Structure formats: C-alpha cells, structure tokens
Amino acid sequence: MNRLIYLLFISLVISCSKESNDSKSNPNVSSTKNNAPNSNDNSSSDQSSSSNDTSTSNDTSSEVKVVFNTKIHSSLPSEWVEQYNIILDTLDKRIPVYNKNYDDLDIYAWNSNTDKPYRSEIGDTGGACICGNDQKRYMVLEIPEDEFKYNSMHRYSVIAHEFFHAYQMSISANFNSGDFKVKWLSEGPAAVFESLYVREHYDYNYFIYDQERVDKEAVSNPSIYESYDSGGDTNYSSSVFMTLALVKELVKLNNTEADAIRMILKDFQLQNTGTANWKDVFKNVFSFSVDSFYTKLSDYQADINNVVPSENLTLQRIFNN
C-alpha cells in the first residue's frame, strides 16, 4: 500500500512539472487573456474587423490628419463650445481631413458682441470663412449674437459648412490653392453638407427652413451662379437647389441617391478640379456636359421642395463610413 501511494505521488509531481514547463515554453498562453480589452470585447473585435475590411479598398492608416488649432473666445456660450467639439468629433468620422495639401489650420471663433478679439492675428476679418492668402490661411467663425438670442440653427450649421471646405481643400490641390471658384459647385455642396448634418443630428430641416429662397434664374439662367458675384443666392439657396437638381439627374442614370451626392461632394473634387478643366471633369464624373445639365434645369420649378433629399439619407451612407 505504501509503495502504491509513493508511486502515485511521483506521478503527480511529474505531471505538475510538465504543465509548468509547457507554460514557460509558450508565454503567450496566459498573456493573450491579460492583454484583452477590459470592456466591450465584442465591439472592439467588430471594429477591428471593419477596419481591416475597409483598408483593403481605402487604406488611410498611414495618413496624417490636418491639425486644427482652435482658439475659442470666452464670449461664446459653453453650450456652443460643447456642440462645436461634438461636431468636430463627428466630422472626423465622416470626412477625415488628411494633410495631403496642407498640414494645419488655425480656427478663430467668437461671438459678434465682442469687437474683433483676434485682430492682432487676423486683422479685421469677420463673418464665417476660410480666409487668408497663399502664405497663411485660417478659418473664421464669428457667430452673430442674434443667433444665440433666437436659437438660430445656423450657429451650428456654419461649423459643418466651413469644415467641409477644409475637407475640399484636403482632397483637391486646386481647391486648396484657390484655383477652383465655380460658386454653385463649391458652395452648393458645402451648404448641402451642412443641411444634411443638422437634419441628421439636430432633427431640423435646414433645406426647407433656411435654404428655401431659390431664385428663378437658377432654372432660367443657371450659368450666372458660376460666379461669386451673382445675386439671388441668399444663404446659397440657389446653389443648393442646383446641386440637388444634379443629384436628381444622376439618380435618373441609375445611381443611388447616396452615390449621386457622394459623386458631387467628393468624387468631383478628387479629380483635382480647376478653372481650366472643370467642365471636362464634370462630364467625366457625371456622364453629361455642364451645358446639358443647364438645359435640363429648365424642366424644374425653382422650388427647394422639389429636390430635397430623402429623410433617411445619412452622411454615413453617403461616405461609406
């Protein structure tokens, strides 16, 4: 009996020694679990898988994003500052801005009830714009005091509008250099983008309430809106109308609504569209000429209600992210 107990004891010792050696020879056995995320394990796995799928067609993992140097004046309410940060975070997912054409962009934001607090840096520049010159450019967000008083949606939508211009600058060298200045194809897409953003995130139809003043010349003499000197474009309403009418025409060619808008907001500028080639690029991207499109516009009524995008259309669907 004693001999049997002794043999069992020796066998147990040998077994424990073997397990210890196996663990030492393969240290990853235990470290895999220790290095796993503490929470949301399934979500993390899904995001990793999604990222790998995306990288096969559009790998941006090695690209560096533009640095936005934001200077927000104390005159702006904390609520606006909070929404500004939320909008930037959201836009970073929808239209990430990479430093292909510029490295950084200073942003100056203040309430119009304060007299030019950044005059020493940007002079008397005001309003909302991406301004400056070839040596230095910056974004200006001077928010009118009345927009806080009356809770105007423009106090938020203008952020998305100007950041879309920053995105255009990042995907087109000619847009970045100022060589592309066709108003309805520059401001129209930016204004459509801001309207889609506030409709999706604030449940507010900016198209109907703030871009409804479409001029009749948008259908009778649309070429005038190639110039920034053209009138009849309050809040870029006529440029928005023309952009959305172009969406309608592209859908007639069996493009989905989301694809049609992406072609205008992104694909058109990706061709490095400039003053000299924009009509050729237009035809190549959209499959019909500018003149042909202008002729088609005569079949429309100058009414924003006839061209407003579908309610369920989101920026995520448009940009596939």
Query: How many Å apart are CA 195 and CA 174, to the nearest integer?
Result: 25
Q: How far apart are CA 52 and CA 58, in angstroms?
A: 10
pLDDT at 185: 98
The answer to whether 172 touches 180, Cβ cutoff 8 Å, is yes
What is the reported pLDDT for 25? Answer: 36
Let me know: does 162 contact 141? Beta carbons within 8 Å.
yes
Q: What confidence score (pLDDT) does residue 133 get?
A: 73
The domain spans of the chain are 63-163, 172-321
pLDDT at 62: 61
Q: Return the exposure string of 42-66: e unless at least 16 CB atoms fall within 10 Å of the residue's CB, then b.
A: eeeeeeeeeeeeeeeeeeeeeeeeb
Terminal-residue alpha carbon distance, the chain: 72
Give the chain's residues under pLDDT 70: 1-62, 134
| pLDDT score of 46 | 34
Q: What is the pLDDT of residue 15?
A: 41
Q: 170 by DSSP, 3-state: which? A: helix
